[in-house]
A = this chain, B = another copy of it.
């Protein structure tokens, strides 16, 4: 079980390598929503996404012996870059399996950190099979994208930073894909600000977390289809257990709502985010009455986007 102490240790461990990212506000977006919104800009994080936190917290706990054959993982993009960065910092190799549908910007950046990239079909089975083959050959250590306490502890440091900077928050809203960020944020709230409620925002086209949460049974997305390419993966079982206990709701948003919110973020915050990040603002806009006059932190999970393919 991830404890308060675990999250504090994780934060201490990764602090020399990550940014305490800024929190931005916009009076226009506050006006539009009728709420006080605090945007935690993980698009400004190392590798352009919160994923650096979890991957570094994992890699920094490995021994020299474990590190020597390299690190490996499968990821549609941001976790790939995070593992590649960790390998580069620790002076070892990174073997990354990426679905062939991954955004070019994420593929380029992963290679930019010196990783060896192998492409596969865009389904979980193909990703896991390809990785197993590579792992057998190289003996590299697998860094899981979300389903592991060390990853969850690392991702929890993002909400911890928010709760240390802002008082009396009513809500923290995070996107949900594999559930590392949502589970970590829920635990951070439990330990550092028990009165703050944590909600997950999920795309309708990859609604496994929503359905799992509603039924209490872990359901896998079969053919996820959403513009939020960072949220295609299904919830991990460890993540699900934490989310069931400590998250108050998971709400769905459509791709259309995601694109509209993404445009508002570019226009008024003047920052570049990927579609996954926009789910959180899309949710506030969708449930305006519910969120009215609340103090809400929204985690903008990343900013790695193919600029030539912006949806507006």
Contacts and interface: CB of A to CB of B under 8 A. Distances in A.
Contacts of A273: 270
A307 B267 contact: yes
Nearest to A43: B270
B270 A266 contact: no
A157 B208 CA distance: 52
Contacts of A270: 43-44, 48, 271-273, 303
A16 interface: no
A26 B64 CA distance: 30
Interface of A: 22, 24, 43-44, 48, 105, 263, 266-267, 270-273, 303, 307-308, 310, 312
17 contacts: A22-B22, A24-B44, A44-B270, A48-B270, A105-B267, A263-B307, A266-B307, A267-B307, A270-B271, A270-B272, A270-B273, A271-B271, A271-B272, A272-B272, A307-B310, A308-B312, A310-B310
Given A44-B270, A48-B270, 20 more contacts: A22-B22, A24-B44, A43-B270, A105-B267, A263-B307, A266-B272, A266-B307, A267-B272, A267-B307, A270-B271, A270-B272, A270-B273, A270-B303, A271-B271, A271-B272, A272-B272, A307-B310, A307-B312, A308-B312, A310-B310
Contacts of A44: 24, 270
